[in-house]
Amino acid sequence: MTKEDIMRRAIQLSIESVRKGGGPFGAVIAKNGEIIAEASNCVTIDCDPTAHAEVSCIRKAASKLGTFDLSGCEIYTSCEPCPMCFGAIYWAHLDKIYYANDRKDAGRIGFDDDFIYQEIALPAEERMKPSEILLRDEAIKAFQLWEEKEDKTEY
């Protein structure tokens, strides 16, 4: 399949998602031109704020391939990934992101991903969502154990 064929599938998934009550987003993960996994946005359908097309697609691809490292694969999304999905794409080690609509297009229809991108860039004390460090001295023990663990699987 060509890149355009795969993107058309992601776009079709986004259209189908709207028709079945989901959000207007679709994603496909491919390797060497072959579709490995596909998903659409199911946030409202599944009552799961993390059920974005990209995250769901990554989960399916990782399960199908039996690995958390999706190096060698590319993701095609109907829209520029939100910050959560963008982070998941990096954690999954996908080689490349192709997207059709951008975050400004999403913003025009009420999906203000750009706001979160702006929030991330701010120092914690300037963000709209308050946060504070709590029990760091206790929590650091897990990090120390991880650091000392000789048989850990890096990711």
Q: What would the pLDDT profile of 70-110 be if each residue is shown by its tens digit?
A: 999 999 999 999 999 999 999 999 999 999 999 999 999 99
Task: Calculate mean pLDDT across residues 22-45.
Answer: 97
∠ CA 98-101-103, rounded to 5°: 100
Q: What is the pLDDT of residue 155?
A: 86
132 is catalytic: no
What number is the average pLDDT over the span 3-28? 97
Kindly name the residue from 4, 38, 54, 74 that is annotated as catalytic: 54
- 52, pLDDT greater than 90: yes
Does 13 have pLDDT greater than 90? Answer: yes
For the full predicted model, state whether its pTM sits above 0.85: yes
d(CA 78, CA 18): 12
User: Residue type for 32, please?
Assistant: N
Q: Are 74 and 98 in contact (CB under 8 A)?
A: yes
**Pair 101, 80: CB distance under 8 Å:** yes
Q: Is the pLDDT of residue 15 over 90?
A: yes
CB 73 within 8 A of CB 31: yes
Residue 114: pLDDT over 90: no
Please check the confidence at residue 154 and state whether its pLDDT lies above 90: no
Q: In which band, very low, low, confident or very high, does the pLDDT at 112 lie, cut at 50, 70 and 90?
A: confident
